[in-house]
Chain A
Amino acid sequence: MARTLITMPKTAKRGELIEIRTLIAHPMETGYRHADDGSVQPRNLIRRLTCRYFDGRDDVEVFSAELFPAIAANPYVSFFTVATASGSLRFSWQGDNGFAQTESVELTVT
Chain B
Amino acid sequence: MRSRQPKGWVVMARMVTSTKPLTKTRIGGGPKTGGPNSNGSPRRNGHGRGFPDLQSSANRYRIGMWVALASILMMFTALSSAYIVRAASANDWQPLKMPRIVLLSTALIIISSFTLEAARRKWKDTVSDGHRRWLLVTMALGIGFLISQLLTWRQLARQGIYIASNPHSSFFYLLTAAHGVHLLGGLAALAYLLLRARAPQEDELAVAKSQAGADAITIYWHFMDFLWLYLFVLLFFVR
Q: Are A and B co-members of a single complex?
A: no
Residue numbers of B with Cβ under 8 A of A are none
Residue numbers of A with Cβ under 8 A of B are none
